[in-house]
Amino acid sequence: MTAKASVNFLEEALADTFGFDTFKGNQEAIIQSLFDGKDTFVIMPTGGGKSLCYQLPGIMMEGCALVISPLIALMKNQVDSIRSYGESDEIAHFLNSSLSKTQMRQVKEDITSGKTKLLFVAPETLTKEENIEFFREAKISFVAIDEAHCISEWGHDFRPEYRRIREMLDLIGHQIPIIALTATATPKVQSDIVKNLRMGEDQNTFVSSFNRDNLYYEVRPKGKKEYTFRQIIKLVKEMPDQSGIIYVQSRKAAEEIAQALVVNGVKAAPYHAGLDPKTRSRTQDQFLMEDVDVICATIAFGMGIDKPDVRFVMHYDIPKSIENYYQETGRAGRDGLGGRCIAFYAYKDILKLEKFLRDKPLMEREMGAQLMQEVMAYSETTACRRRFLLHYFGEEYDEANCNKMCDNCRYPRERVEVSQEMVQALESVKTLDENYPLKTLIEFVLGNETKQMKDYGFTELPGFGTGKDREEVFWSSVFRQALLNNLVRKDIESYGTIKITPEGEAFLKKPTSFEIPIDHDFEKELAQDMQG
Ligand code: ADP
């Protein structure tokens, strides 16, 4: 369709097709850009209304829109939802390995006859010779690339086959506009997407604010398993009958937390890749139908789940990147009402994740370490969490606008001056020749007479035990703050040994005031709490 779509024209179509009165955010400008035949890049947070940006023009334009989507479950949901709006089932189809030969033939017939306006395909379907042949002949209105961050190794869900999309589109050979959409785009991911798709020079980019002002962000220290489980149960019971997702990194944790909740009378279920597809899809349906309130899931859950009233998202295990975190917490409060996002954090978990990285190729290892450093900084910051998150996505944000919607704005943490102790900590790094990890340094300052300390003769060195009047949590906090403030760095290449940075040297020469937040000894507090 070459005619310029008038405002009324688009709004009318919106009302006719979806029954909505107005466009949300940039939707209208995005759709107009497609009508203008421009390559279009859409960066919009989860719940912003991305799907409509290709669904509506897909239905309106001549020909069939190709929508590339990473997951079969995701496609199915979308097709079902469009069919519910449309007049016929043929209006939307998906084409992937789950279809029989006959079904595939039928889909292609519907496209050729012009009945189908939106076709969802997986990138691997696109690469099939016979499909390329078919698309070359078919009338394609435009190509939408959903979850476009899958293109980038810096994204939270890299899929190698996504990198071949451009190549396939070139084979198909039309001069068709593309629209790429993602909810997560750090500047790095953004430039990866544009470069890889070779989007035209006069492409339009639409960036929506990533702020979700209805979400409350909170980080809690993660103690021993039973204490943390208890906290989770308590929290969940404070929100009876509300839908929520608890993300974990292992199948075992998914099972155990679900079990603990069920025992406590909560309708909960696990969801992970170890369950068969039938069970998983049943659990997903039960969650949508509210027969299950709480899902304990590994990361596999949530993509394409359109449940607008998810009231909380917890992370029992800290995610591998801020992108992951933001994507997952973004599933709360899509209806614009409140959503509580609670992450449980233990420095130990960062170390665990770092260990996993050790056997990975260099590039991946460095990237992983950097992403995790950000997660650690987020977890340990005493400043506004919302500001931190938005800043991560390249957005300036005045924390005064947070409206006490994060724990740090609501309950500012007490801080203590540790300039002198920081000097002690940095000196210990030098005394041990910048050759040891955090754990050894803490033991050294505390003066723990472990076998290693004695065998290596560390007990004889100046500085051994100078910090013995403080507790381990204190020193752990001092060292972590040194890391976060770039006074020292962790060398992943040499198994996490701590090195002094030029900033650290400068600090040693001329120590300045240095305040850190007081770390609670949560194990102790919780133990008291349990007795009380
Ligand atoms: P995203 O893919 O960006 O996460 P969705 O496309 O799933 O977001 O949309 C989120 C919700 O907003 C859906 O429930 C959708 O029906 C609704 N929505 C989208 N556009 C509009 C609109 N213009 N007016 C009202 N609701 C809308």
Highest mean pLDDT among 81-85, 172-176, 210-214, 314-318: 314-318
**Residue 158's pLDDT is what?**
83
Q: Is the CB of 47 under 6 A from ligand 1?
A: yes
Q: Is the CB of 23 under 6 A from ligand 1?
A: yes
The confidence band for 388, taking pLDDT boundaries of 50, 70 and 90, is: very high
Q: Is the CB of 51 under 6 A from ligand 1?
A: yes
**Residue 2's pLDDT is what?**
45
**Residue 6's pLDDT is what?**
53
Nearest-CA residue for atom 25 of ligand 1: 20
Two structure tokens written together for 384:
């506004």
**C-alpha torsion sign, points 377, 378, 383, 387:** positive
Q: What is the distance in A from the centroid of ligand 1 to the CA of 497?
A: 47
pLDDT digits (tens, 9 = 90+) for 211-258: 999 999 999 989 889 999 999 999 999 999 999 999 999 999 999 999
Per-residue pLDDT for 395 more than 90? no
Bridging pattern class, strands 515-517 and 415-417: antiparallel
Point out the ligand 1 atom lying closest to the alpha carbon of residue 183: 3
Nearest-CA residue for atom 17 of ligand 1: 49
From 52, 118, 208, 288, the mutation candidate for ligand 1 (largest count of ligand atoms within 8 A of CB) is: 52
- CA pair distance 444, 432, nearest whole angstrom: 9
Mean pLDDT of 508-520: 87
Question: pLDDT averaged over the chain?
Answer: 89
Between 158 and 443, the more confident residue is 443
Mean pLDDT of 157-176: 88
Q: What is the distance in A from the centroid of ligand 1 to the CA of 306?
A: 9
Nearest-CA residue for atom 2 of ligand 1: 50
Nearest-CA residue for atom 16 of ligand 1: 49
Q: Is the CB of 331 under 6 A from ligand 1?
A: no
The confidence band for 43, taking pLDDT boundaries of 50, 70 and 90, is: very high
Q: What is the distance in A from the centroid of ligand 1 to the CA of 15?
A: 14
Per-residue pLDDT for 182 more than 80? yes
Per-residue pLDDT for 175 more than 90? no
Point out the ligand 1 atom lying closest to the alpha carbon of residue 24: 23
**Residue 532's pLDDT is what?**
39
Among residues 112, 115, 118, which one has the least CA distance to residue 136? 112
Mean pLDDT of 403-418: 91
User: What is the pTM assigned to this prediction?
Assistant: 0.71
Per-residue pLDDT for 300 more than 80? no
Q: What is the distance in A from the centroid of ligand 1 to the CA of 309?
A: 13
Nearest-CA residue for atom 9 of ligand 1: 49
Highest mean pLDDT among 181-195, 304-318, 369-383, 419-433: 419-433
Q: Which residue has the tokens 């068969």?
A: 276
Two structure tokens written together for 326:
């933001």
Mean pLDDT of 161-169: 92
- Reported as half-sphere exposure (CB side, CA atoms, 13 A), residue 141 has a value of 27
Is-contact 350 376, C-beta < 8 A? yes
**Residue 32's pLDDT is what?**
96
- CA pair distance 298, 247, nearest whole angstrom: 6
The confidence band for 1, taking pLDDT boundaries of 50, 70 and 90, is: very low
pLDDT digits (tens, 9 = 90+) for 441-491: 999 999 999 999 999 999 999 999 999 999 888 898 899 889 888 899 988
E runs forming strands in 82-237: 92-95, 118-121, 140-145, 178-182, 204-207, 215-221
Point out the ligand 1 atom lying closest to the alpha carbon of residue 48: 3
- CA pair distance 158, 220, nearest whole angstrom: 29
Nearest-CA residue for atom 19 of ligand 1: 49
- CA pair distance 270, 442, nearest whole angstrom: 38
Q: What is the distance in A from the centroid of ligand 1 to the CA of 279?
A: 28
Supply the ipTM of this predicted assembly.
Answer: 0.98
Whole-number CA gyration radius for the chain: 26
Is-contact 13 23, C-beta < 8 A? no
Between 87 and 114, the more confident residue is 114
Report the Cα–Cα distance between both ends of the chain, in Å, rounded.
71
Nearest-CA residue for atom 20 of ligand 1: 49
Least-confidence region, from 8-12, 121-125, 144-148, 186-190: 186-190
Proportion of the chain above pLDDT 90, given as a percent? 62
Point out the ligand 1 atom lying closest to the alpha carbon of residue 330: 4
Two structure tokens written together for 490:
């962790």
Q: Is the CB of 46 under 6 A from ligand 1?
A: yes
Phi and psi (nearest 5°) for 414? Answer: -70, 145
Q: Is the CB of 307 under 6 A from ligand 1?
A: no
